[in-house]
Amino acid sequence: MTPSCSSGVSAVRPVSIDRAASSGIVSRTSWGEQSRIRIGPADSGGQLTILDYRAPAGFGPPRHLHHREDEVIELIEGQAVVWTPNLSFVLAPGDLVLLPKLGPHTWRAYGPQGIRFTVTVSPSGFERFFQDIERRRLLAGDVAELRAVAGDVGMDILGPPLSDEEVRQIIAEAEVS
């Protein structure tokens, strides 16, 4: 049953606006990732989270999968490659990709500049990952602790980030097709 207000109209969550200039909740990792919550679980009733995400040139996370949420990434700035076991490809600014839960994946920025993504995860929960890394002051070499933080948000680390050679191969294959 849908709750209703005294007027008999179904109650809905209030409209949420994130102004581009607002500070929001920003988390930073020691290796240069920055994540700002634009729409969070409180805004969406836990249905989704939208992040403004930035990472330095050459950065890419380890191969991983999410048990709980689908992930949509839209590349806003920079150049990136995406890897899945069955398909690897190059993203250009404006490209958007759905990475379904339980699907192994990773990506890596390439070229001279860092990247900026809009990341949408559904349902919410993953946004805590960056906050927990910052709160614990973890370094990239803190592998056991990073795996624990990943596990806390329903993510498994499966393997290393993409190598330079793998990035070159994905780019070369994209140029041929």
Evaluate whether residue 11 is within a structural domain: no
Total of domains in the chain: 1
Evaluate whether residue 144 is within a structural domain: yes
Q: What digits encode the pLDDT tens for the residues 117-176?
A: 999 999 999 999 999 999 999 988 898 999 999 999 999 999 999 999 999 999 999 998
Alpha-carbon torsion (138, 144, 150, 151), positive or negative: negative
Q: Where residue 102 sits, what CATH number does that domain have?
A: 2.60.120.10
Evaluate whether residue 7 is within a structural domain: no
Unique residue bearing structure tokens 């729409």:
39
Put residue 45 in one of left, alpha, beta given phi > 0 → left and psi -120 to 50 → alpha: left
Mean per-residue pLDDT, 12-23: 68
The token pair at 64 is 């991983």
Work out the percent of the chain whose per-residue pLDDT is above 90.
Answer: 80
pLDDT at 141: 86
* Pair 105, 99: CB distance under 8 Å: yes
pTM of the model: 0.86
Q: What digits encode the pLDDT tens for the residues 51-77?
A: 999 999 999 999 999 999 999 999 999
Evaluate whether residue 98 is within a structural domain: yes
Unique residue bearing structure tokens 């920003």:
26
Lowest mean pLDDT among 4-13, 83-92, 110-119: 4-13
Q: Which domain holds residue 49?
A: 25-176
The helix/strand/coil state of 7 is: coil
Evaluate whether residue 57 is within a structural domain: yes
